[in-house]
Copies of this chain bind each other. A is one copy, B any other.
Amino acid sequence: MSAKIIDGKIIAADLRARVADEVTRVKRDHGLTPGLAVVLVGNDPASEVYVRNKAKQTEAAGMASFEHKLAADTPQADLLALIAKLNADASVHGILVQLPLPKGLDTQTVINAINPAKDVDGLHPINAGRLANGLPALTPCTPLGCIILAKTVHASLEGMNAVIIGRSNLVGRPLVQLLLNENATVTIAHSRTRDLAAICKNADLLLAAVGKPEMVKADWIKRGATVIDVGINRSPGADGKNKLVGDVAYEEALGVAGAITPVPGGVGQMTVACLLVNTLRAACAIKGLKAPAV
């Protein structure tokens, strides 16, 4: 028996199409064009690719895209001034500052400067706190994507034993809250966890977000479990060339898991789609409209 492949590409395309439908509706019914501003400081090539991709998908969904590219040596005060301008700009509903920032800029200060209502990365402490306290919040995109993928396999996650490996602010910690909201029983494991394999083996839903190539082996996985692999690692393949692999030993996991996300083509596909969801949600909330149907 081989696991069902959770196809992030198709699921993300479907999600983007639903966002686009809702954008058409809010434009038509409310004269609202959701707008996303992306700020890139410096010229890290990988970040440039991400930002270009975000802009393209934002426009494809019918939203307004605003790109702001600043030099790597931009003083912090200038970056904060730009954020203040975007906070005040009524055509901007989402503000994303591409991370990591160049040295000399303080990430937390920059995040704190973003209007929480426009914080589509869900990184502002007030959004993390609203999420932690069970209040409506903008939530980080990657964990949101994980939940959507898991729910393509299970109509409900209620009562499932979910195990998260990794406790980052970007993925692991917000996943705890999102999974609690889905009424799952949640375990969060990390580098100091003892007997990680045994803990993983109890998981009905296993989410790996640790950044270690193929760390999770087949014998860590409960037969029939759903596996969501957040890792994107470069690892030398049999031919000596680097290839992208996840945190899960995918080939061997296929024989044990009930369903699994591939890398690439799994969680990674969802992140930008969820950014569009967050921008749409932020725009509707700012405009005082009810939450959109995505």
Contact = CB atoms under 8 A, between A and B. Distances in A.
B188 A132 contact: no
Contacts of A128: 128-130, 132-133
Contact of A185 (B108, B177, B185, B199): B199
Contacts of A169: 132-134
Nearest to A124: B129
A192 B186 contact: no
Nearest to A160: B194
A167 interface: yes
A125 interface: yes
A192 B161 CA distance: 11
Contacts of A251: none
Oligomer copy total: 2
A36 to B, nearest CB: 23
Contacts of A189: 185
A75 interface: no
A129 B134 CA distance: 11
Contacts of A177: 132, 173
A169 B129 CA distance: 10
A180 B188 contact: yes
B188 A192 contact: no
Interface of A: 108, 123-135, 158-159, 161, 167, 169, 173-174, 176-177, 180, 183-190, 192-194, 199
Given A108-B135, A125-B132, A176-B176, 20 more contacts: A124-B129, A125-B135, A128-B129, A128-B132, A128-B133, A129-B131, A132-B132, A132-B169, A133-B173, A158-B192, A159-B193, A161-B194, A173-B180, A180-B188, A185-B187, A185-B188, A185-B192, A185-B194, A186-B187, A187-B187
19 contacts: A108-B135, A123-B133, A124-B129, A128-B128, A128-B129, A128-B132, A129-B130, A129-B131, A132-B132, A133-B173, A134-B169, A134-B173, A161-B194, A161-B199, A167-B180, A173-B177, A176-B176, A176-B188, A185-B194
